Amino acid sequence: MLRRCYEQVLKVVPPSRIIVATDDDRIAEECRRYDMKYEMTSSHCLTGTDRVAEVARRYPAAWYVNVQGDEPFLDPQGLLSMLSAINSVTSDVAVINAYADLNHESDFRSTSVPKVVVDLSGRLLYISRASIPTTKALEYLTASRQIGMYAFRDTALLLFSEQQSKTPLESIEDIEILRFLELGVKVQMIQVPPGGIAIDTPEDLLRAQRFLRS
């Protein structure tokens, strides 16, 4: 799964600019075996974004892009869109996150699929594991899911990592992007192709294997 994700990113970004951030020796061994650049981090990181922030301190830059390792079917075009957005967002935006149309009610009802709602300018209003947005009768009409791809200004990562614990909504939902919202950081969402299957559970892995076989 990690190698598939890495290979998708490699279609857009040169290997010298890709770093696998991990605290797990098994992942480090996989990186050494397949010549993927990696950095070991603390095992006490609260979230993946805290892990990115730790690595960012070793590599000074204005922006950092995080592609989560559970997106092996990431569409390279979506990553290109993210890189383009970095050069076009207004100065008050410190975080960019990707989202895509959600096309199956089973995903809408799934607590492992974070759903996003945005304002008319594409700014993130809220993200939840709950089924949102919904009607009074709790019907599924239309929805969008978060894609595990982000871009952060260095200042936003620093603010994020200075927190010693998860913020209240982040802790309830177990969705780290909420920490930015709770800290007053503006998050711009960009729409990308739906891609394939994000692998968060054993059931997702089975779906992914069936998808590959077909």
Tell me if 209 is assigned to some domain.
no
pTM of the complete model: 0.91
Residue 208, pLDDT > 90, answer: no
Residue 211, pLDDT > 90, answer: no
CA distances from 111 to 31, 62, 108, 133, 147 (A): 31, 34, 8, 14, 15
For residue 146, the domain's CATH number is 3.90.550.10
pLDDT at res. 195:
66
Tell me if 148 is assigned to some domain.
yes
pLDDT digits (tens, 9 = 90+) for 87-120: 999 999 999 999 999 989 999 999 989 999 999 9
Quote the number of domains for the chain.
1
Tell me if 46 is assigned to some domain.
yes
Note down the domain range covering 142.
2-197
Residue 65, pLDDT > 80, answer: yes
Tell me if 87 is assigned to some domain.
yes
58 contact partners, CB below 8 Å, separation of at least 6: 39
Mean pLDDT of 151-158: 97
pLDDT at res. 203:
87
Task: Tell me the average pLDDT of the chain.
Answer: 94
